[in-house]
Amino acid sequence: MIAICAVIAAYNEDRHVADVVHGTAPHVSQVVVVDDGSTDKTAERAREAGATVLSHTRNLGKGYSVRTGLAYALKQPCSHILFLDADLQHDPAEIPKLTAMAISGKGDFVIGERELRKDRMPAARFYSNVVGSRVLSTFIGVPVADSQSGFRLIRSDLLRTVRLTATGFELETEMLIKLVRAGATLERVPVLRLQYDGSQSKIRPFLDAFRTCMLALQYRYLSG
């Protein structure tokens, strides 16, 4: 029997956050949305949908938001923490694919991997993810095809053993390296959604990919 707390970092996602909360709730015991200083109605929409909402007074970055949600979630009676994005990049209907791994005892850290296709995503994001994933696979000694996927299910007790410091999108890299270094067994499951609706991405593909690779060196060899 597993108990799951979902953590959703959100910044100006009032178009999608309620749908994500509604879709996630049937699969978990609690949904926590961290509103990262949004200037729209993200917090209001998430609260109306039934989520516990934690708010930053200003925009601090995805890493800060996930860490805020994680600090709260680790105080709850849950065996696993589920992470997913607020923009419907991750389909909540696919959560059972990740939880099935946890229920079967396969994988302390389960990543929902998207099929990366040049014809279905911006070229810059495609290449930055492919390069970043190859670099990360080398560092952790485990093949990962979608290292920047934020769709993850991780055992709570393992998350308590690592100190996360990332403030931005490099958090995914830090989690991978530090948890695998701490002995976490990594499993990957394919997920289907890979949708871009034309809205402005909050990721800066080449800059964030370069920063991720540089920070990977730090996390792998210098950080505790």
pLDDT band at 208 (very low <50, low <70, confident <90, very high): low
- Alpha-carbon distance values, 72 to 5, 32, 77, 165, 175 (Å): 10, 9, 11, 16, 17
Residue with the larger pLDDT of the pair 149 and 19? 19
- Walk me through the domains of the chain, giving residue ranges and CATH numbers: 4-222 (3.90.550.10)
Chain segment 28-63, per-residue pLDDT in tens:
999 999 999 999 999 999 999 999 999 999 999 999
Q: Give pLDDT, residue 69.
A: 98
Cα 5 to Cα 33, 41, 112, distances in angstroms = 11, 23, 17
Instruction: Enter the tokens of residue 171.
Output: 């958090």
In whole numbers, what is the pLDDT of the chain averaged over residues?
A: 85
The pLDDT-based confidence of 133 (bands split at 50, 70, 90) is: confident
Q: What is the pLDDT of residues 87-120, one digit of tens each?
A: 998 999 999 999 999 889 888 999 998 765 555 5
